[in-house]
Homo-oligomer: A and B are copies of this chain.
């Protein structure tokens, strides 16, 4: 009965999360940042998740508030501790909308 009043909390959104060398990308659903942080470790076999950043420009997604502003299917990169984001070398009109 505790879930009768739905509409509470954010709804899960789809994200696309890649690893640091962009060799693997996974579709992952998450409702809050912590949820996504937990799931990316398993899904992408990252032992120690250091940070989530936007793939397009390396913007760090550190806060729940900013996380909630991301659109469906935002592309993120998971970084292990000590790793750094690097720009894509060849991206001709990669995410033209």
B-chain residues with CB within 8 Å of residue A61 when the two chains form the complex: 27
- A55-81 CB mask vs B (1 if < 8 Å, else 0) is 001111111011101001001000000
A66 to B, closest residue via Cβ? B27
The total of chain A residues at the interface (CB under 8 A) is 29
A4 to chain B, nearest CB (A): 19
Give the B-binding residues of A (Cβ under 8 A).
Answer: 12, 14, 16, 24-29, 43, 53-54, 57-63, 65-67, 69, 72, 75, 93, 95-97
8 further A-B contacts with Cβ under 8 Å, apart from A16-B57, A26-B60, A43-B62, are: A25-B59, A27-B59, A27-B60, A27-B69, A29-B65, A57-B75, A93-B93, A97-B97
